[in-house]
Amino acid sequence: MDAALEKRQVQRAYELYAPVYDFIFDWIFAPGRTAAVKQLAIQRSDSVLEVGIGTGLNLPLYPWSCQLTGIDLMQEMLDKAVERVHNLAMPNVTLKVMDATSLDFGENEFDKALATYTISAVPDPVAVLREMRRVVKPGGIIVILNHFRSQRTVTGWVEDMLAPLCTRLGWKSNLSLEPLLERVALVPEAIDYVNLFKGWRLVTFVNRK
């Protein structure tokens, strides 16, 4: 069973989530977010792109010296990220409203890129990953953190059954990792399991163009 995720569904869902997003998603998913930023192995003055930065929950995890650009589809989410940047006094952060399927950046513009809990919440995850590859330099690091369809038969079946409901909530419960990576020609360097019940996968790539 496949349930297509549409851009308007995502926008509508996250307009509703924006006021309570931090309350719902902060502490529950914090271990994965911490591990994801650590996987980037950010060096001084690295240029980093975060796709789907949302309200900026990852901001305190970044080193002060890196050049961070964060994008999100929803202005309502970015408004909260702007407040967080101000409160943290982070001097090297740029936030932009942007569609991740068509990034307004040049090729090889960033050293590293990150997407946490984003890939299953976009209508076209293949296009997003292709864009991340395009804008990251050869040899640069790409990290994605997401829930993917379980390889266990029963769990995967349940995720398929829940897919129509989850798409109404703005994300896809049964996105499969392996076919997705095949279409983007990305080969994982590492896959770690994080968060509650180890139900989310932290996937690290080196951008071998």
Confidence of residue 150 (pLDDT cuts 50, 70, 90): confident
CATH number of the CATH domain containing 131: 3.40.50.150
Q: Which domain holds residue 202?
A: 7-206
pLDDT for 27 equals: 76
pLDDT for 121 equals: 87
Q: Is residue 179 part of a domain?
A: yes
Q: How many domains are there within the chain? A: 1
pLDDT for 2 equals: 42
Of residues 117 and 167, the one with the higher pLDDT is 117
Q: Which string of b and e fits 186-202 if b means at least 16 CB within 10 Å?
A: bebeeebebbeeeebbb
Residue 171, C-beta contacts closer than 8 angstroms, at least 6 positions apart? 5, 13, 120, 121
Q: Is residue 120 part of a domain?
A: yes
> What percentage of the chain exceeds 70 in pLDDT?
79
Model pTM score: 0.86
Q: Is residue 157 part of a domain?
A: yes
Q: Is residue 125 part of a domain?
A: yes
pLDDT for 134 equals: 98
Confidence of residue 149 (pLDDT cuts 50, 70, 90): confident
pLDDT for 1 equals: 35
Q: Is residue 86 part of a domain?
A: yes
Helix, strand, coil shares, percent, the chain, to 5: 45, 20, 35
Q: Between β-strands 47-51 and 110-116, what pairing exists: parallel, antiparallel or unpaired?
A: parallel
**Distance between CA atoms of 129 and 5, rounded to whole angstroms?**
16
Q: Is residue 2 part of a domain?
A: no
Nearest Cα to Cα of residue 141 among 39, 33, 31: 39
* Residue 196, CB-side half-sphere exposure with 13 Å CA sphere: 5
Of residues 194 and 13, the one with the higher pLDDT is 194
Nearest Cα to Cα of residue 140 among 205, 190, 198, 94: 205
pLDDT for 152 equals: 74
pLDDT tens digits for range 55-82: 999 999 999 999 999 999 989 889 999 9
Q: Is the predicted pLDDT of residue 163 greater than 60, yes or no?
A: no
Q: Is the predicted pLDDT of residue 167 greater than 90, yes or no?
A: no
Q: Is residue 1 part of a domain?
A: no
